[in-house]
Structure 1
Amino acid sequence: MQERLITAQNRLKELNFSLEEKVKKQVQTIQRHEALLTSLFSDMKEGIVLFNEKLEMRFCNPSAVRLLNLSEEEAKKRFLALVKEMHQSRDKHLFIQSQGFDLELRMFESGAKDVFCVFVRDATSELQIDRLKDELIGIAAHELKTPLAGVRMAAECLSKTVQDPESKETAAELLESADEMKSMISRWLDVAKLQTGSYEIHPEFCLIKPMIRKALKHFSGFKDFECSLEISPDAAAANVDKQAFMQIVQNLLSNAYKYRKEGGVCRVKIQTRKSGDFLELKVEDEGIGLPESAIDKIFDRFYQVRMDPARKIGGTGLGLYITKELVLLHKGKITVASTLGEGTVFTLELPALPTETEKGKDE
C-alpha cells in the first residue's frame, strides 16, 4: 500500500513538472508574440491604442501619444474619453483637431468584443484637399448662376415665341435642362455652405402639412408618382426652418422616385406622430430598396446606390447628404431602414415645440 502511494506521488510530481514545463513554454510563446506585436506597433507612424471590455487601456504606442501632442498621462485620459464616445456611436469613427492637425480615429472590435482597438492617423492633408475641393465647387457653382440665368431666360422666351411643335419641344427640353442645372448648382452651393458652417436656419413654430403639400407640387405632373399623407393631430406642427423642411421632404421624395421599381408607380406614404418633445416623420416607399452594404453609406457625399447596370439613375449623390445635415442643424436625427426589393423607410425626428424665445414673442 505504501509502495503504491509512493508511486502515485512520484507520478503526480512528474505530471506537475510536465504541466509546469508546458505552461512555461506557452507563457514564453505568448511573451514572444506580445513582444513582437509591441515592437511592430511601437514602430508604426500611426497610433494604436488597445482597450479591454471594461474600457481599460492595455496598450498605447508612442505614435498615438505623439499625434495628440500631449504628455503620456494626458494622452491616455484623452483617449479614454474618445473611446467612450466612439463606443456609444454607431459608426465608431471620429475626426478631431489636435494642435492644428486633423486626426482620424477608427475603432475596431474583436469577435468576442473583449478587445477594442483604436487606430489613429494624421488626415490633415486629405481634409485640406477636401476643403479646397469644396471651396472650388462653391466658387464654380456661384459663377455658373449668372450665365445659366441668361440661358434659362432665352429658353423660356423661345418656348413662348416659336409655333411649330418640333421647336416647342426643343425649347421645353432646353428649359428642363436649365432647371436641372439650376437645381444641381443649388445643391453644390448648399454643400459648400454646410461644409464651411455658414448655412443658417431660422426655425419657427409652424404647421407641416402646407409645407409638405408645397414640396409635393414638384411632382404634380408625374403620372407615375403617388403620395398619401397621414398627419396625426398631435403631430401637425414643428419648430423648423420652412425652406429647409421643404427641401428635406422634397429630397426624400426625389430619392423615392429615383429608386422606384422600373416600369411601376412610385408610391410614397408620409406619416407623423408625437415622440416626446419631437415630431417623428416617416417617409416610406415601395421601391427597389437598399442592400445592407449601402445603409451606412447612404448619407455620404456623392454616394449613389448602383444595383442594375442597365438602369441609368441620375443625380449627384448629394440629396441625402444635404438632408441629413439639415436635420442635424435642427438638432434632430434621421435613420433609414430598408428591405431589398420591398422599399425603404426614412424616419426623422425634428423639434416639435417652439423655443423659449419664440414663446416669449407669442406672449
Structure 2
Amino acid sequence: MASAGIRSFLDALDEPAMVIDRGIVRQANATARALFGEAIEGKDVRLAIRHPQALEHILPAAAGDVEITGIGQFGRPWTLSIREIDDRMLLVRLIDRSATIAAERMRVDFVANASHELRTPLSTILGYSETLADDAEVDREHRAKFGSVIRGEAKRMLRIIEDLMSLSRIEAVRFVTPADQVSIAQVTASAVENARESKPQCSIRLDVEPDVPAILGDRAQLIQLLDNLLSNAIRYGCEDGDCAIGVAAVVEGNWIRLTVTDNGPGIPREHLLRVTERFYRIDAARSRESGGTGLGLAIVKHIVERHRGTLDIKSKVGEGTEVVVRLPIMS
C-alpha cells in the first residue's frame, strides 16, 4: 500500500492507530499522535510507546489482540490489536474499552441493587410466613398483624418488579422516536386526576397555558412521567397540611416546559446529581416506608431522553423542589 494510501486509511480510524516498520513508527493518525505525542512518527517504537506489556507483543510482531491498561492514563483499559500488513510492517491499534467496562459495571451494580431490593421484603415475607406455618399458637391479633406485613411487603416487591419491567420496556425503545400526536393538556389533566384520587387530602394546582400545541410522544409514557413526579411531590411534599403542589405547562420557543413543584423538605445539593440513578435514595428507610422503589426518577429520565427532551431538578433544603421537563414541539 502506498504511503498516501496508508495515511488516508489511518486517518479514517477513530481509535489510535499506527504503522510500525521493523520497530520504527512510520505513520500514526491524529488520535495516536494526541496520545503519544506529535513527534511519534519516525521514532523507535520502544521510545514512542514506553509500555512494557504492549512492547512484549509489538516487538516480536505477535499478531492478535491483548487487553492492557495504563496507556495515556492510569488504569485506562485498552485492547491492543496487532495485524501484519506484510512481512515487515504491522498495523497497531488501541481500542478504548472504558465505556464497555463502565457499562458492564453498571449492569453488575444494577443486578446487585435489584437483588438487594427484592431480598429485603422477601426475607420479611419468609420470616413471618414461617412463623404462621410453624406456630399454631399464634393468636388472632398477631396473625392479622403478620398477614398485614406479608401483604405490604408483597405489594412492595410487586411495585419494584413493575418498575423494573417498565424501565426495561422504555430502554428497549429508547432509539425509537415516538410518532403519536399527544395533547399535553390532556396528559397533565389525567396525571393530576390520578394523583388526586390516590391522595385526595393533597391540594394540587394545575396551570396549563391556553392552546399549548401537541407534541410527538408516547402518551402512556408521558402520563407515567408525570405520575412519578407527582408521586414524589406527594410522598415528600404532603407530610403535613401545609402542602402546595403545582403542575404547569407553558410554551418556551420550540419547547413545552412542564414543571412540577412542591414545598416539601427539599433535596440537599450533594444528592441532586444522583437522584436519577437507579435505586439511589437520599433516605433509604424513609423511602421504603413511604412505598418508594428508588426507580421513579430513573424512569422519568429515560422517558425524557426517549422524547429528546431535557430534565432539570432544582431544590433547596427547607423550601421545596422544582422539576422541569422540556419537550420539543412538533415541527
TM-score, normalised to structure 2, is: 0.56
- In structure 1, the gaps of 5 or more residues are 1-67, 80-98, 104-116, 142-165, 356-363
1:75 aligns with 2:31: yes
Deviation at 1:184, TM superposition (A): 1.8
Residues in 1 aligned to 2:218 and 2:148: alpha-carbon distance in whole angstroms: 33
Q: Which residue of 207, 226, 239 corresponds with 1:230?
A: 207
1:205 aligns with 2:181: yes
Q: Which residue of 274, 278, 282 corresponds with 2:255?
A: 278
Structure possessing the higher radius of gyration over alpha carbons: 1
Residues in 2 aligned to 1:179 and 1:206: alpha-carbon distance in whole angstroms: 32
Residues in 2 aligned to 1:314 and 1:194: alpha-carbon distance in whole angstroms: 22
Q: Could you give the per-residue CA deviations for residues 59-91 of structure 1, whole angstroms, max 9, x where no partner exists? A: xxxxxxxxx543464226878xxxxxxxxxxxx
Deviation at 1:258, TM superposition (A): 2.2
Q: Could you give the per-residue CA deviations for residues 152-180 of structure 1, whole angstroms, max 9, x where no partner exists? A: xxxxxxxxxxxxxx999999887766554
Deviation at 1:346, TM superposition (A): 0.8
Deviation at 1:120, TM superposition (A): 7.5
1:253 aligns with 2:230: yes
Q: Which residue of 122, 130, 143 corresponds with 2:106?
A: 130
Does the CA contact (< 8 Å) of 2:196 and 2:204 recur in 1? no
- Root-mean-square deviation (CA), in Å? 4.5
Specify the alignment match of 1:40 in structure 2: none
Does the CA contact (< 8 Å) of 1:203 and 1:242 recur in 2? no
Does the CA contact (< 8 Å) of 2:243 and 2:263 recur in 1? yes
Does the CA contact (< 8 Å) of 2:195 and 2:231 recur in 1? no
Deviation at 1:313, TM superposition (A): 5.0
Q: Which moved more, 1:297-306 or 1:328-337?
A: 297-306
Residues in 2 aligned to 1:252 and 1:189: alpha-carbon distance in whole angstroms: 18
Specify the alignment match of 1:110 in structure 2: none
> What fraction of aligned residue pairs are identical, expressed as a percent?
24
Q: Which residue of 283, 305, 321 corresponds with 1:344?
A: 321
- In structure 2, the gaps of 5 or more residues are 1-14, 19-27, 36-64, 78-97, 118-141
Specify the alignment match of 1:162 in structure 2: none
Residues 194, 242 of structure 1: CA spacing in aligned structure 2 closer, same or farther, 3 A cutoff?
Answer: closer
Residues 169, 298 of structure 1: CA spacing in aligned structure 2 closer, same or farther, 3 A cutoff?
Answer: same
1:31-180 pair list within 5 angstroms: 69-71=16-18, 73-75=29-31, 121-122=76-77, 123=98, 124-131=100-107, 179-180=155-156
Residues in 2 aligned to 1:285 and 1:344: alpha-carbon distance in whole angstroms: 6
Specify the alignment match of 2:308 in structure 1: 331
Residues 126, 236 of structure 1: CA spacing in aligned structure 2 closer, same or farther, 3 A cutoff?
Answer: closer
User: Which structure shows the higher helix fraction?
Assistant: 1
Secondary structure of the corresponding residue to residue 76 of structure 2? strand
Deviation at 1:197, TM superposition (A): 5.6
Specify the alignment match of 2:278 in structure 1: 301
Residues in 2 aligned to 1:311 and 1:77: alpha-carbon distance in whole angstroms: 52
Q: Which residue of 145, 166, 174 corresponds with 1:190?
A: 166
Secondary structure of the corresponding residue to residue 17 of structure 2? coil
Residue identity matched to 1:70 = A
Secondary structure of the corresponding residue to residue 182 of structure 1? helix
Secondary structure of the corresponding residue to residue 274 of structure 1? strand
Secondary structure of the corresponding residue to residue 225 of structure 1? coil
Residues in 2 aligned to 1:307 and 1:182: alpha-carbon distance in whole angstroms: 18
Residues in 2 aligned to 1:295 and 1:126: alpha-carbon distance in whole angstroms: 21
Residues in 1 aligned to 2:287 and 2:323: alpha-carbon distance in whole angstroms: 26
Does the CA contact (< 8 Å) of 1:225 and 1:265 recur in 2? no
Residues in 1 aligned to 2:195 and 2:154: alpha-carbon distance in whole angstroms: 16
Residues 340, 125 of structure 1: CA spacing in aligned structure 2 closer, same or farther, 3 A cutoff?
Answer: same
Aligned length: 233
